[in-house]
Amino acid sequence: MKILKYILVFAAIWLPAESIFSHPEENPEENLTAATAAPDTIVVLNKADFLAKVYNYEKHPQEWVYEGKLPCIIDFYADWCGPCRKVAPVLKALAAEYKGKLIIYKIDVDREKELARLFGVSSIPMYLFIPEKDKPQTSVGAMPRESFEKVIKEFLLKDSE
């Protein structure tokens, strides 16, 4: 009976800890990079991808030069952030709905500290909305789907409709 008790205690401690400390690289869907993702999925950016696909601040430190071909949303997030996890399905649905019209990226602020500092990320989730030809705008805090759709239609895609 004591052995069963120890097994149950161990399982009660180990299973929740395993889910808390799991990393996105263990989930292949969460570890899509700019090179491996389909156009209707959310892409996790590292610094090299960011420089190539969004903004090369090393090459253009004094001016904003968007490197992308479609407007984009960048979600600055962390795995431990509850509001970030809550908004993730909304962003995934928007990526599918606006496939071919805009791209949704994610940047893990714990892994990409330089990018987080570059944009002054002090609270997450934070979103960077980047149109093709205008300056980017930011928003801090979880947003409902309706707010994302408004920004997409009125700011990101306003010139394409």
Catalytically active residues, by annotation: 81, 84
Of 112, 145, 128, nearest to 71 (Cα)? 128
Q: 10 Å Cβ neighbour count for 126?
A: 21
Compute CA distances 60 → 23, 100, 112, whole Å.
Answer: 33, 27, 20
Cis peptide before 24 (omega within 30 of 0): no
Report the C-alpha gap between 91 and 144 in whole angstroms: 10
Strand partners, 160: none
Report the C-alpha gap between 14 and 30 in whole angstroms: 23
Q: Is 63 left (phi over 0), alpha (psi -120 to 50) or beta?
A: beta
